[in-house]
Structure 1
Amino acid sequence: MNLSNLLFRTAKVFPDRPAIACGELDLYNYRELAARVLALSGSLRGYFGLRRGERVALFMQNSPHYLEILYAIWHAGLTAVPINNKLHPKEVEFILEDSGSTLLFITAGMDHQILTSNSTKLLQVIDTDSKEYLALFQGGEASVASNDPSDLAWLFYTSGTTGKPKGVMLTHANLLTMSMCYFTDVDTPQKEDSILYAAPMSHGAGLYNFAHVIVGARHLVPESAGFLPEEIFDLANRYRNISMFAAPTMVRRLVEYSARYGSDPSGIKTVVYGGGPMYLEDIRRALDVLGNRFVQIYGQGETPMTISALSKFHIGNIGHPRYLERLGSVGVAQTAVEVRVVDIGGQILPAGESGEIIVRGDTVMSGYWGNPTATLNTLRDGWLYTGDVGALDQDGFLTLKDRSKDIIISGGSNIYPREVEEILLLHPGVAEVSVVGRPSHEWGEEVIAFIVPEAGAMIDLDDLDEICLKHIARFKRPKEYRILECLPKNNYGKVVKTELRRALESER
């Protein structure tokens, strides 16, 4: 089924429900949104003459126009290529060229002359604040161009921290299955809800639009087009029943803002967090300050938002004898997928043993765009090999250890950086930490910890040693602590450990 059918179904059944809002202003109901999508789809096929399967890129800030463009692309039988608006122009240029995008939608202020100078297939750049964009709604409507669920819907480019980004091919069927998992494993949206897009709509936040379209909920774009804690609390108090996706760094900022200013969290229904490790101490503080409004998901672009989930029930089940162990996990396999932990030969490991996490199900990508070698390395015998290391307990709860490339092997023993990071965050003066391995002639690798202190905090390194020795084996203790003002992060808020390793290598 074509994803655009979700919108048109809701427009028929619940036409007057508010669909798109910007800040405190409702812009369109579902009837009006569907009409705009039909007109824009007609222009994509009629005015531009785009044919089934052609790629259309969006290099945009979060915008009230974002969803209408996506749904028009799908209704026209085309493929959307959403691009994070914080990427460097050279990264955007690579994605445009690699995907062969024929149209590019931008928001005001994007320097498209730099972006498109070497793109060989791009026909036109359209600013969504321009007269040219408004004119696209004056053409005729078009019937849906494709209803094949195996058609490519979303070409998602990975962050590319270890090389060129790869285009993950996600079909209509992949994204529809992902959306069904939202209802069964993540949350139950209602018509009174609003989904708030404070994280980039080009990624996880935008993928959660489908479940909210299905029930006729409001899609709310902040006036800032981004993440401002004060604005989020204000909008939550105005609209109530706000749901949102947030990276762990965003959750931390919400918590600290609420703790400092006493912001009322009652208008926030659900915060789904993922996209990076949420350390145990951080989620415990979040629960203390904001209450049980959290769901954790674990996924990858290759199986979007859909590997495992830790529900509100489990996050709030403080009476369970293994509560803290579960709270530190990423939950259980989502309904539509199978999850295993295997050794290097692909054999299933017993409960509690660490190995590579592999996933099978209808959410898993069809492959990497134009990259059959990478596809064969990642998809094997129907399973997605994630490159992540984890362990399943006897009840099916999955705990992430690290990316396989991040494991430190010291003296023949595996050390998982996340385990050390969790312990160092117990120190009240530690705001952020990242642990990497440094080559060692004696041990193979030795543990180095990069520490960002809380504002105004003075950290005694002996205290850090004492905390480590109290909680983990001596051989896991960092050989050196380095104090930084901030950790290097990519455009998605993830710590780029390769830069930390590179800094250590430059000293050799």
Structure 2
Amino acid sequence: MNIAQWLYQTALARPSAPAIKVGAASFCDYVRLARRAQALSRELAGRGLGQGDRVAIFTANCAEYLEMIHACWWIGATVVPINYKLHPREAAWILEDCTARIILTRAGEMADKGLLPQGCTEITIDSDDYRGAVAADAALKQPPSLPADAVAWLFYTSGTTGRPKGVMLSHGNLMAMSFAYAIDVDRIEAGDHSLYAAPMSHGAGLYALPYIRAGACHVIPESGGFDPAEIIALAGDPGGLCFFAAPTMIKRLVTAAKAVGYAGQGIKTITYGGGPMYAADIDEALALLGPRFIQIYGQGETPMTISVLPRDLVADESHPNWRARRASVGYAQAPVEVEIRAPDGGCLPPGKTGEIMVRGATVMLGYWNRPEATAETIVDGWLRTGDMGHMDVDGFLTLTDRSKDVIISGGTNIYPREVEEALLMHPAVHEVSVIGTPDPEWGENVVAFVVAASCATCDASTLDGWCRSQIAAFKRPKRYIFTDTLPKNSYGKVLKTELRDQLETGAIEAPPN
């Protein structure tokens, strides 16, 4: 069981099918992609790499990403995708932690800075050596068979609460994730185009796998990332455009689309997840772009595969409970079971909030060299997600917050998302993030970081009055901090840890209202 077999088979079955485009320009077909991956695998094997060795990839999205991944798998090596927005020193820590033998970069980001750990070699994909290696034109040979539990993808978590941990995902995990995509998320046609607007080092890159199996085309934006105007332009060229986006990306796309009168032509599917999608935002997106949206909920520890809200249910307004369903993250995906547990481990009934637990074929093997952390996170086969939520009688799961983000004020739980939803309904609010800060009397107080809508005036007293009209008085923010931007990671997810740090260090003054 080697997931590189999928590229090998597609190259034999559909050799001339377009495999990769950069913007609208063709980069290679499937037989060329497979041959480039196989050639690079021979270069890696010639350097002494084999099954189980770690190869890191530290680049922005690029046409070579898929061949690098498959070159590793072709010899049974493990891919270590590193978020390209990390500082090289942070990347160096990951290299040392996983004892990577090779790191593939765009232009020598590591060696030139003296950051390569002992025993690790950098290969620069812009070099003549790399271009020469992938140009070798040998007949394709089948990748080796591997155990289902061989580690394919060693993904380092964001590390917002300390040093990141390496999540070990096997070939079996990735196959189960891909099957779930085909069954639950979207039906892929050979003429579809998978666009990589979100980082390929994360879930968007893993979503390439079912598209490879289907012989669909992969489109790398010339910008290498998310640019709404670029996506709108690209959508009109190939059609059948499918991509993953964080909710904040969709909000930006909607703003750009409104400005130019674009209504979603050429886009087949936008799969969203990775952060809270607020009701007002998905309503606006549906009204403007139509029923092109599918929601998924997952974590690195069970990649992209906890729950799904299919496009017909995202768009549905006929069911008596359609509003609550649209606000949910859907029901459990096919390979997993989902339960809501109390702190004592007991299973909670519908409507009760507790920790979301997941068991199934997509759940990670464990954390790299972290047996204690693995034992804390996987209990009797169940993954403790650290997310809080509740499930209705029909199995629809609603997220409240990360367990660490729940605010306890006066002994009462306050879920930041509920407060954020209320504030986002005000026309003067463009973005908002709510956190808790220590308070000697109440335990914690609610603080809202607010980005005002353009050309709008917004003040604390106005928003306080608004909150009083929308939610219980004890839930309303005690402080409002107005800012031009919110700190986000490469997926567009707001980094609440940074907001807490800014308050704790005094980087931002937050006077009481």
**Cα distance, 1:116 vs. partner?**
5.3
Cα deviation per residue 1:452-490 (whole Å; 9 max; x = unaligned)?
101221014333223222221111111121111111223
Q: Decide whether the 8 Å contact of 2:198 with 2:491 is kept in 1.
A: no
**Cα distance, 1:233 vs. partner?**
1.1
**What amino acid does structure 2 have at the position aligned with 1:354?**
T
Structure 1 residue 390 corresponds to structure 2 residue 403: no
Match of 1:284 in 2: 283
Aligned equivalents of 1:461, 1:217: Cα separation in 2? 50
Structure 1 residue 38 corresponds to structure 2 residue 38: yes
Structure 1 residue 133 corresponds to structure 2 residue 125: no
Matched position secondary structure for 1:16: coil
* CA 1:489–1:127: 2 relative to 1, 3 Å: same
Q: Decide whether the 8 Å contact of 1:93 with 1:115 is kept in 2.
A: no
Match of 2:111 in 1: 113
Aligned equivalents of 2:99, 2:144: Cα separation in 1? 20
Cα deviation per residue 1:218-273 (whole Å; 9 max; x = unaligned)?
01111111111111111110000000011111111111000111124110000011
Q: Decide whether the 8 Å contact of 2:88 with 2:115 is kept in 1.
A: no
**Cα distance, 1:310 vs. partner?**
0.9
Aligned equivalents of 1:262, 1:341: Cα separation in 2? 43
**Higher deviation after alignment, 137-146 or 419-428:** 137-146
Matched position secondary structure for 1:238: coil
Aligned equivalents of 1:418, 1:462: Cα separation in 2? 21
**What amino acid does structure 2 have at the position aligned with 1:33?**
L
Aligned equivalents of 1:497, 1:44: Cα separation in 2? 40
Trace 1:181-220 onto structure 2 (pairs within 5 A): 181-220=180-219
Matched position secondary structure for 1:51: coil
Aligned equivalents of 1:114, 1:361: Cα separation in 2? 43
Aligned equivalents of 2:334, 2:496: Cα separation in 1? 32
Q: Decide whether the 8 Å contact of 1:87 with 1:491 is kept in 2.
A: no
* CA 1:504–1:32: 2 relative to 1, 3 Å: closer
**Cα distance, 1:5 vs. partner?**
0.4
Match of 1:21 in 2: 21
* Structure 1 unaligned spans of 5+: none
Trace 1:423-502 onto structure 2 (pairs within 5 A): 423-502=422-501
Match of 1:273 in 2: 272
**What amino acid does structure 1 have at the position aligned with 2:118?**
T
Aligned equivalents of 1:24, 1:139: Cα separation in 2? 25
Aligned equivalents of 2:201, 2:55: Cα separation in 1? 13
**Higher deviation after alignment, 438-447 or 307-316:** 438-447
* CA 1:503–1:24: 2 relative to 1, 3 Å: closer
* CA 1:350–1:231: 2 relative to 1, 3 Å: same
**Cα distance, 1:366 vs. partner?**
0.3
**What amino acid does structure 2 have at the position aligned with 1:328?**
A
Aligned equivalents of 1:362, 1:116: Cα separation in 2? 41
Return the TM-score normalized by structure 2.
Answer: 0.96
**Cα distance, 1:27 vs. partner?**
1.9
* CA 1:199–1:491: 2 relative to 1, 3 Å: closer
Aligned equivalents of 1:471, 1:334: Cα separation in 2? 33
Cα deviation per residue 1:187-222 (whole Å; 9 max; x = unaligned)?
101001000011111111101001101110001111
Match of 1:361 in 2: 360
Q: Decide whether the 8 Å contact of 1:449 with 1:482 is kept in 2.
A: yes
**What amino acid does structure 1 have at the position aligned with 2:126?**
D
**Cα distance, 1:292 vs. partner?**
1.1
Return the TM-score normalized by structure 1.
Answer: 0.97
Aligned equivalents of 2:278, 2:113: Cα separation in 1? 37
Aligned equivalents of 2:449, 2:16: Cα separation in 1? 53
Aligned equivalents of 1:255, 1:269: Cα separation in 2? 15
Aligned equivalents of 2:236, 2:154: Cα separation in 1? 35
Aligned equivalents of 1:404, 1:136: Cα separation in 2? 48
**Cα distance, 1:184 vs. partner?**
1.2
Matched position secondary structure for 1:136: helix
**Cα distance, 1:142 vs. partner?**
6.1
Cα deviation per residue 1:312-336 (whole Å; 9 max; x = unaligned)?
0111111111111111111110011
Q: Decide whether the 8 Å contact of 2:35 with 2:137 is kept in 1.
A: no
Match of 2:72 in 1: 73
Cα deviation per residue 1:335-371 (whole Å; 9 max; x = unaligned)?
1100000000111111011000000001000000011
Match of 1:413 in 2: 412
**Cα distance, 1:111 vs. partner?**
2.3
Q: Decide whether the 8 Å contact of 2:181 with 2:210 is kept in 1.
A: yes
**What amino acid does structure 2 have at the position aligned with 1:348?**
C
Cα deviation per residue 1:125-162 (whole Å; 9 max; x = unaligned)?
11212111022133867652442111000000000011
* CA 1:426–1:114: 2 relative to 1, 3 Å: farther
Aligned equivalents of 2:12, 2:114: Cα separation in 1? 39
Trace 1:266-415 onto structure 2 (pairs within 5 A): 266-415=265-414
**What amino acid does structure 1 have at the position aligned with 2:200?**
M
Q: Decide whether the 8 Å contact of 2:331 with 2:395 is kept in 1.
A: yes
Matched position secondary structure for 1:239: coil
* CA 1:314–1:63: 2 relative to 1, 3 Å: same
**Cα distance, 1:113 vs. partner?**
2.7
Matched position secondary structure for 1:357: strand
Trace 1:56-71 onto structure 2 (pairs within 5 A): 56-71=55-70
**Cα distance, 1:381 vs. partner?**
0.3
**Higher deviation after alignment, 457-466 or 111-120:** 111-120
Aligned equivalents of 1:235, 1:118: Cα separation in 2? 38
Aligned equivalents of 2:179, 2:490: Cα separation in 1? 28
**Higher deviation after alignment, 335-344 or 315-324:** 315-324
Cα deviation per residue 1:65-84 (whole Å; 9 max; x = unaligned)?
11011111101110001111
Aligned equivalents of 1:405, 1:149: Cα separation in 2? 34
* Structure 2 unaligned spans of 5+: none
